[in-house]
Structure 1
Amino acid sequence: PETAEYTSFLSAHGTFSRIDRILGHKSRTSKHTDAVEVLLERKGCAGVITLNRPKFLNALNLSMIRHIYPHFSFLEQDPETFLIIIKGAGGKAFCAGGDIRAISEAGKANQKIAQDFFREEYMLNNAIGMFLRKPYVALIHGITMGGGVGLSVHGQFRVATEKSLFAMPETAIGLFPDVGGGYFLPRLQGELGYFLALTGFRLKGRDVYAAGIATHFVDSEKLGMLEEDLLALKSPSKENIADVLDAYHAKSKIDQDKSFILEEHMDKINSWFSANTVEQIVENLQQDGSSFALEQLKVMYGSFLS
């Protein structure tokens, strides 16, 4: 989006302007071939962003960030764009996380990509949660972990399917649950967020909705129809979009009567993980001694020792 209108917006508007001038320049000076990693399209009433690295489970890299962020400003200013849809290509993943391999290899080559990547990724996450004024719909179909959570959970609408797989696995690689995890995880029911943060526990399908990560659940075979109905809306409001999503959610049948996978353990999770320190949580798990408690202890010790 390098139109005169867009450039004028960057220089005059306060919401994104300063950061856009930085990231927008980097995006426009990057190689054209990088653009295929993320598709930016206008369809119907929506701006559609497609993460397009299916061979790498749409893992997020710096080039993708530098294409998506400036595009937000264009969509915000475009009078014919009423919502933003973000999705992943290939059917296996929305986004499996940040491209840690690329960051690691760059570090070995003495290239300082890590600082740029994390700074700009967090700026992107913050923009989704704080600055976007138009409805944002993330179709979190397939693997959604780490960086993929950051691209989705801060928006108004997150649509899971029976093939969704959510986790915040950062502690297993010696990192903290980032991409805004410190904000959204403690706001889940009870102490669930602390449990997910420290264990990297994986939620699948309708459990992603039951946990409060997704706002809606739709059978995967209906996902294409849902997108078409959203794109066909005429000048929709947030309420119009919510009505469409609610209608599809109400009609979803897969695992409709399934109990939340952690339901039978939630009382204990709330007790164990309410401690003020990790050491006390570990002690709580040791004292309980149940198979479920010991399983989480094993996962946590593995994370701490790796």
Structure 2
Amino acid sequence: MTDDLHIHTHGAAGHISLNRPKALHALTQEMCEGMSDALLGWREDEAVSAVILDHAEGRGFCAGGDVQLVRKSALEDDGKSGRVFFHAEYRLNHLMFTYPKPLVAFMDGVTMGGGVGISQPCKYRVATENTLFAMPEGTIGLFPDVGAGHYLPRLRGATGKFLALTGARLDGAECLWAGLATHYLASESLAEAKARIVAGEDAGMVLDDMASPAPEARIAGNAETIDRLFAADTLEGIIAALHDDGGMWAETELKAVRAKCPTTSKVALRQFVANADCADFAANMRMEYRIASRMMLRHDFAEGVRALLIDKTGDPQWDPDTPEGVSDALLDAIFAEDPPGGEWTPFPEAV
């Protein structure tokens, strides 16, 4: 078992704490496999009635997945170990989505990328004043994965497209407004909430009882504008709407959209459409695994990680560097079946 996880049972609860504070608890393959092993072990354990998911210390809940490892794999072994990582991570995401017992995620801090993937499948998702939520994959030339192809299209209005294309960061109140969180609690109340769940109280009733009034969600004031300016089905259409609006908010978001990897943005929009044809969450994860198997091998991913995380220059050179340069043929190839190494499969117990 990796030291990057604390896994225990307390009373009626299983408890998984992410313990990689220097990396804001970003997920490694070993962490994904360890979490899956614990959940599979508790699945039929009658003594465990609920599972608590949180972080041990630091300001993160989970800042994502180990993208530098995936980048290294793409450069050194043609993506083989990267695909192994994604396979394990997506199995964990699907296991959580189909889990028969209530999972409670305490999103008390940075919740991005892979952190979204392990919080959104949970029946209860608790935001606090420390929550900072985002899907920033466009910044590194990857794509909104870990189930985002399922979750984002189901958010109210055009909120999902807005988050996917801008990488906007939401606070805890905004997460509650958007439906990304089910409850809002003050961080000082979390220890008591966990103790009551451990004592055997119903998790939903505990959270309902202890929920705090959330501050006004800033995004709510822009909801109508988001729905109007992000209504188009194409990246070019959304950029045109933002450009033509002329307002300060639109100008800011236009800069955000244009800064992101064009291929990532077009992949995200196609995900929204393709998810409608997915019979279940497993089908969505198969689709995302096909995309991941190819996106991690592209120039954009290596370049995005370099610019953001390695050299930290913030100057990625995308290829193609315009929306018009991303052809339908390129997208068809990214979404094609039979990715290198074969298709993704869920845990048999979770089917």
TM-score, L = length of structure 2: 0.72
Q: Any idea what the Cα deviations from partners look like across 1:165-192, whole Å, max 9, x if unmatched? A: 0000011111221111111111111111
- 1:87 aligns to 2:49 (yes or no): no
Share of identical aligned residues, percent? 39
Pick one of 54, 70, 78 that aligns with 1:103: 70
1:247 maps to 2:209: yes
Using the alignment, how far apart are the partners of 1:72 and 1:217 within structure 2?
25
Residues 91, 141 of structure 1: 8 Å contact kept: no
| 1:30-57 CA distance string (max 9 Å, x none) | xx5xx21112111110110111101110
Say whether residues 1:286 and 2:254 are aligned partners. no
**Map of 1:178 onto structure 2:** 145
Superposition map of 1:268-287 within 5 A: 268-287=225-244
State the distance in 2 between where 1:156 and 1:270 align: 27
**Structure 1 runs, 4 residues or longer, greater than 4 Å off:** none
For the residue of structure 2 that corresponds to 1:40, the secondary structure is: strand
Question: Quick check: 1:227 aligned with 2:189?
Answer: no
Paired with 2:173 and 2:222, the residues of 1 have a C-alpha distance of 17
How big is the shift at 1:119? 1.7
Instruction: Report the secondary structure of 2:130's partner residue.
Output: coil
Q: Which residue of 1 aligns with 2:14?
A: 47
Q: Is the 8 A contact 2:134 2:163 kept in 1?
A: yes
How big is the shift at 1:91?
3.5
Q: Distance in 2 between matches of 1:166 and 1:80?
A: 33
The aligned counterpart of 1:262 is 219
1:15 alignment counterpart: none
* 2-structure distance, mates of 1:159, 1:146: 17
Match of 2:90 in 1: 122
Q: Which of the pair has the greater relative contact order for Cα pairs under 8 Å at 6+ separation?
A: 2
Over aligned residues, Cα RMSD in angstroms? 1.4
Which of residues 64, 78, 95 is equivalent to 2:31? 64
Residue type at the aligned position of 1:122: Y
Superposition deviation, residue 99 in structure 1: 1.2
Segments of structure 1 that go 5 or more residues without pairing to the other structure are 1-31
Q: State the AA in 2 paired with 1:289.
A: G
C-alpha deviation, 1:73, in angstroms: 1.4
Specify the alignment match of 2:157 in structure 1.
Answer: 190
Q: Which amino acid aligns with 2:237?
A: Q
Aligned residues: 262
TM-score, normalization: structure 1? 0.82
Match of residue 75, structure 1, among 28, 42, 45: 42
SS at match of 2:122: coil
Q: Secondary structure at the match of 1:144?
A: strand
CA distance in 2, matches of 1:148, 1:245: 21
State the shift of 1:79 in Å.
1.2
Matched, 1:112 2:80: yes
Q: Deviations over 1:220-254 (max 9, x none)?
A: 01111111111011xx5xxx2211100110xx25x
| Secondary structure in structure 1 of the residue aligned to 2:242 | helix
